[in-house]
Chain A
């Protein structure tokens, strides 16, 4: 069975790049353009993993994460922040809010794979 990753980012380019990487890693991708779209998606079906941008219109990534974790079964998805916010304060805030990992943009396949291995979403091939 294919596993699902929800990519939440307001940039179409970033979503496209992320999708390509994630599909290579054998995930099915769905996309959301902001936190609100992501929230509506999750209220319907929980994906296995969420790749989450921080700064987005309508609803930010951090606000979405807090609302997600308050949902029934909202602790099920693994959430990996993926944002240009690269200071310790943001990282700490994200982890406090229940993120599982944190990627500082720019990212590449190696970084996503490495982070997914860290949180047990992928097996190490070596």
Chain B
């Protein structure tokens, strides 16, 4: 691809989605836009570029943005965040929200829906335990085509084998032809909406837990910090944020503080002080260690102590902690 053409797509994608394409990722333009050209009856990628220069069609541009912003996903991707969700966050929040009996969860950039549906399955498994509770899962993405796919919740044999335990497949899916259809009892637990993270997100309301994993890596620093700060505004003071394993808030925003024991888990700055009667750091670490392995198929038989996943009450420990390296490589996450 010519440099001028690359610059054209780079500017277009940045303006429309905040996506930052670096020259080393220019192959993605080739591999993802060639099918778009085909779909529009345009013979080559070069011809597609010409058309965008000459008379940019809004719908064509939308297709291009969607093709470039679609991210890889799988059920229970990376597993650990889901274990933390079921073993630590659910017990903590069900204690804190026991008068309201409502927990709101947001999956930002949900792609084809595997992440919100994984959470829905965890909650469905615990239905009896949380009788009378209302769990709202809001899943958003920038791409209408992927949202449509997510709502449909029909997955290929390949997709249902990556990360999804066989018991969940048996319990929550119906085989239709070559595909596996997620049952309505799970589908109906997730509400999908089109949201561009660059635009206002206030209409989503307040959340207790936000999953925004492997999304920010595509943005530049300024956009990252803008998005994180606006996410912070949509979160309850004692809410939790998940970022991808390779992502960090360090040097980007001071609105969130990484949890020392759980990689990828963040609390809002100031939440440590809010947490009443938090466990000692040692107790929190011990309980975290004890609960890192779980079985998604079976309902939780024992709940972790309420303070397990909250920050140690000693706020100064967190704010004076040096660079991310030490947090990210904390002993808990080393392979045994």
Give residues in A with beta carbon < 8 Å to B.
86-88, 91-92, 95, 101-104, 107, 110-111, 114-115, 117-118, 120, 123-126
Contact = CB atoms under 8 A, between A and B. Distances in A.
A104 B161 contact: yes
Given A91-B170, A123-B335, A126-B80, A107 B161 contact: yes
A114 B166 contact: no
Given A86-B157, A110-B162, A111-B161, A126 B245 contact: yes
Interface in B148-167: 157-158, 161-163, 165-167
Contacts of A114: 74, 161-163
Interface of B: 74, 78-80, 157-158, 161-163, 165-167, 169-170, 175, 245, 293, 296, 335-336
Contacts, number: 44
A92 B170 contact: yes
25 contacts: A86-B157, A87-B175, A88-B170, A88-B175, A91-B166, A91-B170, A92-B170, A95-B166, A101-B165, A107-B161, A111-B161, A111-B162, A114-B161, A115-B161, A115-B166, A118-B163, A118-B296, A120-B293, A123-B335, A124-B78, A124-B79, A124-B80, A126-B78, A126-B79, A126-B245
A21 B74 CA distance: 20
B335 A91 contact: no
B71 to A, nearest CB: 15
Contacts of B161: 103-104, 107, 111, 114-115
